[in-house]
A and B are shown apart, each in its own frame.
Chain A
């Protein structure tokens, strides 16, 4: 528990957390004004891995931006692929065959599980537990192998195309995915929940720590597991259905506590829901082509377009402005962790440094996606 303390200005000092620090998982720097062990002010300093993806989008054609999408959120790259495909398909009026949308959903959800597994591993590593990382990477490796077979890459996928996907899935992938789900379901209760979730050391570290209110989420525009851990039932897959998500029966896990434990529980439950979606998609998988008809040179009608998808970290929005040319006139990427991190300063105020780090871990930051 964080005990309220009286802070005196003259006793504070500045502590630089990062940009090279193992707990920030990348090049994030936080300028912390400290009073002893307590954080007086936390100010994230961004931009250490800024690559100006938005300018690259304007310089190239629509299809040339695909490889860039995978290099922002490298943990849930397929959702970024999907978001970019959806906004351009919307603007250019391209139809996607049903089988392709099913395959998109299956791969995106597999990737979501991989992302949550890696978050779980890294978060516990932050808290000082090394063993869980080995279990999570063991399972994640299975997903990466499955995706590698059909997408051709292990991390930075450029699997989707306007009008479909680049490669069809085969029986071996389907069988492998079913085996993986069976395996993860079998391992989840003992290796994940008995060992970690119900572990008193973990509970003491993250329960009632890093309280984020629903109102704070709204004021700062936080989405994804951060909002759902604060009692906000908001998931783009349900609230603003896209692709073939309405075809599936799944739940949106919501926890009201608003602490780091709630965000932890949201992600653990989401993995189960993603497995449910994949199973249903495999059962219902329609036949047919995986690539629709799309013109070689895209020239969407001039105008303003917006499309959002739910990534592992929250709502990813593409604000696209077209002027009728073959390049995007303007593309703004509304990345989820950029907004989720912006509430860090307000929430971390008055926390113990060790708690602030645990809270930061529970936000699930991916720095290249913040800096774009």
Chain B
């Protein structure tokens, strides 16, 4: 399963990714690696594949994952304030069968955080995207109902942004 998924995903990235990601890659200290798919140690990191893609590729990735029989476990945001970026994490997993977890990551600039929605591929994404919008203010393009989900509807802040002060 791992190989099959890897082969399907690698097609999206014409340039091969560097063999191994440096420790702490993508954080303030270490630079971000090039887009592509790398295998990560499951025992240490809890996912088999780590996919770094451009924001316009998340739908294509979701379609591949759907075709391969995965389900969307969660979508989360990360605020990298020092780099002025938001990162969106998509966790894919399989309901039974051979076990394979895939982490898909993409980065958008903080001042214009726009990512296409994957809610038409996985309905599960609907609520997770609303939550990420609620907490970070990330705009999910073409989402059918992008309104706040957990915070009050009249809230005018995004609490998980690192520069948010209550």
Contacts and interface: CB of A to CB of B under 8 A. Distances in A.
Contacts of A308: 46, 93
Interface string A300-318: 0111111110000001010
Given A219-B122, A319-B91, A54 B24 contact: no
Nearest to B162: A58
Interface in A317-339: 317, 319, 321, 323-324, 329-330, 332, 334, 338-339
B128 to A, nearest CB: 8
Interface in A102-144: none
B52 to A, nearest CB: 11
Contacts, number: 117
A219 B123 contact: yes
Nearest to A370: B150
B71 A219 contact: yes
Interface residues of A, number: 47
A233 B150 contact: no
B48 to A, nearest CB: 10
A329 B67 CA distance: 33
B159 A55 contact: yes
Contact of B89 (A315, A319, A324): A319
A218 B73 contact: no
A301 B23 contact: yes
A90 interface: yes
A371 interface: yes
Interface residues of B, number: 44
Main secondary structure of the interface of A (DSSP, over half): mixed
Interface in A259-284: none
B143 interface: no
B111 interface: no
B28 interface: yes
Interface of A: 46-47, 50, 52, 54-55, 58, 87, 90, 214, 217-221, 223, 227, 232-234, 239-240, 301-308, 315, 317, 319, 321, 323-324, 329-330, 332, 334, 338-339, 342-343, 346, 371-372
Interface of B: 23-25, 27-30, 43-47, 50, 69, 71-74, 76-79, 89, 91, 93, 95-96, 99, 101, 103, 105, 122-124, 126-127, 135, 148-152, 159-160
